[in-house]
Amino acid sequence: MKIAFFGTPAFAIPSLSKLIASSHRVVAVVTQPDRPRGRSQQRAPSDVKTVAVTHHVPVLTPERLDDSEFLKALQRLKPDLGVVAAYGRLLPAEVLTLPAHGLVNLHASLLPAYRGASPIQHAILNGNELTGITLMRVVNELDAGPILAQAQHPIGPTDTTVDLERALAHLGASLLLRHVEPLIAGRLTGKPQDDAAATYAPRLTKANGQIDWHMRAGSIHNQVRAMHPWPRTFTYLERDAAERSGAHEDTQGDRYTIHRTAVHVPGSQESVHVFSEPGRIHEARGDLLTVVAGGCTALDILELQASGRPVMQTRAFLAGHGIKPGMSFTSRTSP
């Protein structure tokens, strides 16, 4: 089979690699144009383009998918099937009709749950214990095509978006390869989605990383996991005027990025009733940095980072910063 592959980030690499190694022929990889990356903001190819070039697969990087030259180039290749894995753009009708057997998409949720750009993050954010991958037909409506196959995957209590993306990428690649031939042979027709049961996972913004300490500790812990590696969760430390003008100017605005947490389990001599004011630092010594959250719960911060500084584990961080019990984290910067 001649396959046109649409994908951009690392999530798509296992599927592309399996297709290249299979008996099928990847006639083109369609990926997004080179973009500025990193601190230097130098233009760099997508992860998928790098793999395609390594395997000498032709690459198309259209700025617009309705561009006539791109459409002609794709049409000349006469693909039997189009495969989409995290391409990052909606495909117009002109593209959907080009492959003889249409296009299929690997979506990182158990559809119709979490249609949209960030299904993995929202599954973690909502405290789900189960997710999966869906192979579906591509239609004009967002992630609404008939379901061809699904595979489930558990979400562990410490899993981050990075962990799940890696697992689901490989799960999806295996699911895809098992179903390409039945699909082409007409033995796989698909099951319509229940649109009434659909939920949505909109694209994240930096604001999604801001911690609201009035949420319960479990919800904040889920937020920290979901926002890793982007946009990361963050908070601000409130200090009184003397502290802000004194020895703590090295904190560069008192903004802290929270990298790893655990829900605090009160000790035998500790009452949950002391957890009364969300954001208040309850304990700050040794390996313990415990912050009060909503609903008489508390969160242990295990790794954090001051602005412009490296990520540090709690013990090392507390040794070099003037954080004490009674101080408070807040959702807004101090005046």
What is residue 320's predicted lDDT score, i.e. its pLDDT?
Answer: 85
Q: Are residues 169 and 71 part of one domain?
A: yes
12, part of any domain = yes
Whichever domain contains 223, its CATH number is 3.10.25.10
The answer, yes or no, to whether residue 104 has pLDDT greater than 90, is: yes
What is residue 242's predicted lDDT score, i.e. its pLDDT?
Answer: 45
Indicate the average pLDDT of the chain.
92
Query: Parallel, antiparallel, or unpaired: how do β-strands 59-60 and 25-30 relate?
Result: parallel
Q: Are residues 220 and 308 part of one domain?
A: yes
Q: Are residues 183 and 90 part of one domain?
A: yes
Poorest-confidence range of 64-68, 78-82, 100-104, 267-271? 267-271
Secondary structure of the chain as H, E, C letters: CEEEEEECCHHHHHHHHHHHHCCCEEEEEECCCCEEECCCCEEECCHHHHHHHHCCCCEECCCCCCCHHHHHHHHHHCCCEEEEECCCCCCCHHHHCCCCCCEEEEECCCCCCCECCCHHHHHHHCCCCEEEEEEEECCCCCCCCCEEEEEEEECCCCCCHHHHHHHHHHHHHHHHHHHHHHHHCCCCCCECCCHHHCCECCCCCHHHHECCCCCEHHHHHHHHHHCCCCCCEEEEEECCHHHHCCCCHHHCCCEEEEEEEEECCCCCCCCHHHCCCCCEEEEEECCEEEEEEECCEEEEEEEEEECCCCCEEHHHHHHHCCCCCCCEEECCCCC
Q: Are residues 214 and 290 part of one domain?
A: yes
Is the pLDDT higher at 1 or at 244?
1
pLDDT band with cut points at 50, 70 and 90 for residue 250: very low
Q: Are residues 252 and 171 part of one domain?
A: no
Q: Are residues 63 and 125 part of one domain?
A: yes
244, burial (CB in 10 Å: exposed 0-12, middle 13-18, buried 19+)? middle
pLDDT band with cut points at 50, 70 and 90 for residue 233: very high
**Tokens 């605005």, residue located:** 253
Tell me the per-residue pLDDT of 255-309, one tens digit each, with 9 for 90 and over: 999 999 999 998 867 766 667 799 999 999 999 999 999 998 999 999 999 998 9
Average of per-residue pLDDT across 4-25: 97
Domain stops at, among 144, 173, 197: 197
pLDDT band with cut points at 50, 70 and 90 for residue 334: very low
The Cα 165–Cα 143 span in angstroms is 18
Q: Are residues 217 and 76 part of one domain?
A: no
pLDDT band with cut points at 50, 70 and 90 for residue 243: low
Angle at 107 (CA atoms; ends 131, 18), nearest 5 degrees: 105
What is residue 39's predicted lDDT score, i.e. its pLDDT?
Answer: 75
Average of per-residue pLDDT across 231-259: 71
Q: Are residues 57 and 13 part of one domain?
A: yes
Is the pLDDT higher at 190 or at 245?
190
Q: Are residues 163 and 71 part of one domain?
A: yes
Domain stops at, among 141, 168, 197: 197
58, part of any domain = yes
6, part of any domain = yes
What is residue 124's predicted lDDT score, i.e. its pLDDT?
Answer: 98
Whichever domain contains 10, its CATH number is 3.40.50.170
Q: Are residues 120 and 31 part of one domain?
A: yes
Q: Which domain holds residue 121?
A: 2-197
335, part of any domain = no
Domain stops at, among 171, 197, 223: 197
Query: Parallel, antiparallel, or unpaired: how do β-strands 81-85 and 103-107 relate?
Result: parallel
Q: Are residues 189 and 70 part of one domain?
A: yes
**Number of separate domains in the chain:** 2
Alpha carbon distances (Å) from 280 to 68, 265, 271, 283, 311: 59, 17, 15, 9, 22
Average of per-residue pLDDT across 4-26: 97
Is the pLDDT higher at 205 or at 320?
205
Q: Are residues 191 and 230 part of one domain?
A: no
Cβ pair 122, 201 in contact under 8 A: yes
